[in-house]
């Protein structure tokens, strides 16, 4: 994942600068076709047992809810938070989220099992993932605007600069297991988010001078390491102590929290950045980056207080069940 981010930042800048920004979308089609063609020959799965049924009502409801929420937030960025077109979709999204939870409590094979969300490590763990992805992917968006619109760098140069951040995420993925081994997954999440916030906060004061480039490279590199430490920590936390027959649901929650964080982070920060009336884009970007750092720090504090890891007995439940099944 981290290597993909790094390659994407660099190649995205190259494609935009050398060809067209539209190729940032076209290239996904090429990659998808290649994966579809190659996957059957290189991927092997064990014989599948009973296949779960797709929770169609739940899938439709959560999709429409997220679209409505993003649309409302995006409208706020263009027309302000007082506009009726802002709160109408947001209120509709909140209602649909409530309907989604109701559906999940009734269907036999839900997308999200409410019983899992009641576990502290899963509920709070996925909250950590949502915020970790939401803050850092939106920070990349804000920094892209800063590099190109404020400092005047080309798309290619901006992509190469953000590639340094990507290298940090690769290193973060490598050191995270060691940090977790010496402490625990909760500590990795909290430490990662705190360091991410500390690395992000100075960028809220970035000015129009290109002298800010070197501090930006250092801070985003450190922030990238910290963000991946938090992400690995939340992945471990959100699947710990889950019985083997629920591991698929727990893993699905991990993926969903990632996607929701990515989907919501950028429009929220974009609305903050563009909602500030100023002669230039810089004050709005500074405000959004400051809010981004505050969210990361606030998340770390909440998780330090409320996140509870499963005890030794619960953590051993899944391995014990697998052993019993094998026997």
Q: Is residue 114 part of a domain?
A: no
pLDDT the model gives residue 235: 94
The tally of CA atoms less than 13 A away on the side-chain side of residue 261 is 23
Render 296-309 in DSSP notation, one character per residue. HHHHHHHHHHH--P
Instruction: Mark whether 57 and 26 lie in a shared domain.
Output: no
pLDDT tens digits, residue range 287-316?
A: 999 999 999 999 999 999 999 998 765 554
**What pLDDT was estimated at residue 76?**
81
pTM: 0.83
Residues 146, 97: one domain?
no
Considering its fold, how many domains does the chain have in total?
2
Q: How far apart are CA 63 and CA 19, in angstroms?
A: 33
Backbone angles phi, psi at 148, to 5 degrees: -90, -45
Please answer whether residues 226 and 193 qualify as being in contact, where contact means their C-beta atoms are separated by less than 8 angstroms. Answer: yes
Are 202 and 143 within 8 A, CB to CB? no
Query: 3-class DSSP state for residue 119?
Result: coil
Q: How far apart are CA 220 and CA 233, in angstroms?
A: 20
Residues 101 and 247 both lie in one domain: no
Is residue 6 in a domain?
A: yes
Please name the residues in contact with 89: beta carbons below 8 A apart, sequence gap of 6 or more: 68, 69, 71, 72, 75
CATH number at residue 278: 1.20.1250.20
Same-domain check for residues 85 and 220: no
What pLDDT is stored for residue 223 in this prediction? 96
| pLDDT computed for residue 143 by the predictor | 94
The answer to whether residue 46 is domain-embedded is no
* pLDDT score of 320: 43
CB-based contacts of 123, cutoff 8 Å, min separation 6 = 117
Which of the listed residues 83, 108, 133 is the one where a domain comes to its end?
A: 108
Residue 225 forms part of a structural domain: yes
70 inside domain: yes
pLDDT of res. 113: 77
pLDDT in tens, 213-249: 999 999 999 999 999 999 999 999 999 988 887 887 8
Q: How far apart are CA 9 and CA 140, in angstroms?
A: 9
The helix or strand, by DSSP H or E, that contains position 131, with its residue range, turns out to be helix 120-145
Q: Where are the alpha helices (DSSP H) in 82-119?
A: 84-104, 114-117
Q: What is the pLDDT of residue 116?
A: 81
Q: Which residues span the domain enclosing 15?
A: 2-38+120-310+317-326
**Same-domain check for residues 104 and 124:** no
Considering the domain architecture, whether residues 57 and 28 belong to the same structural domain is answered as no
In a domain, 115, yes or no: no
Do both 216 and 289 map to the same domain?
Answer: yes
The verdict on residue 229 lying in a domain is: yes
Let me know whether 23 and 149 are in one domain.
Answer: yes
Check residue 21 and give its pLDDT.
79
Q: Would you say residue 252 lies in a domain?
A: yes
Both 233 and 296 in a single domain?
Answer: yes
**Do 180 and 135 sit in the same domain of this protein?**
yes
Residue 142 shares a structural domain with residue 98: no
Which portions of the chain are predicted below pLDDT 70? 1-7, 9, 46-52, 277-279, 312-327
Q: How many CB atoms lie within 10 A of CB 187?
A: 16
Instruction: Verify that 125 and 61 share a domain, yes or no.
Output: no
Terminal-to-terminal C-alpha distance of the chain: 36
Q: Which of 84, 108, 132 is the last residue of a domain?
A: 108
């Amino acid at each position: 994942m981290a290597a993909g981010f790094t390659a994407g930042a660099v190649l995205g800048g190259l494609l935009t600068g050398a060809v067209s920004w539209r190729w940032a979308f076209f290239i996904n089609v090429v990659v998808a076709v290649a994966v579809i063609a190659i996957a059957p020959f290189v991927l092997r799965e064990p014989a599948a047992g009973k296949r779960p049924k797709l929770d169609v009502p739940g899938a439709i409801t959560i999709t429409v809810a997220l679209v409505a929420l993003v649309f409302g937030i995006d409208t706020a960025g263009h027309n302000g938070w007082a506009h009726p077109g802002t709160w109408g979709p947001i209120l509709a999204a909140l209602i649909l989220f409530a309907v989604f939870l109701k559906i999940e409590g009734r269907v036999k094979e839900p997308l999200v099992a409410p019983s899992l969300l009641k576990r502290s490590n899963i509920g709070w763990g996925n909250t950590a993932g949502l915020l970790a992805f939401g803050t850092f992917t939106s920070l990349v968006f804000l920094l892209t605007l800063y590099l190109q619109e404020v400092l005047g760098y080309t798309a290619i140069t901006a992509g190469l600069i953000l590639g340094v951040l990507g290298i940090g995420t690769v290193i973060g993925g490598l050191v995270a297991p060691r940090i977790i081994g010496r402490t625990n997954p909760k500590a990795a999440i909290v430490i990662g988010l705190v360091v991410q916030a500390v690395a992000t906060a100075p960028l809220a004061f970035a000015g129009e001078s290109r002298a800010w480039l070197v501090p930006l490279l250092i801070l985003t590199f450190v922030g990238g390491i910290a963000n991946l430490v938090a992400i690995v920590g939340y992945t471990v936390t959100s699947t710990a102590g889950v019985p083997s027959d629920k591991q698929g649901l727990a893993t699905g929650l991990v993926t969903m929290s990632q996607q929701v964080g990515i989907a919501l982070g950028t429009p929220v920060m974009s609305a903050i950045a563009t909602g500030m009336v100023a002669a230039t884009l810089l004050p709005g970007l500074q405000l959004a980056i400051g809010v981004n750092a505050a969210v990361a720090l606030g998340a770390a504090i909440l998780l330090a207080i409320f996140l509870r890891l499963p005890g030794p007995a619960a953590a051993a439940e899944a391995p014990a069940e697998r052993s019993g099944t094998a026997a």
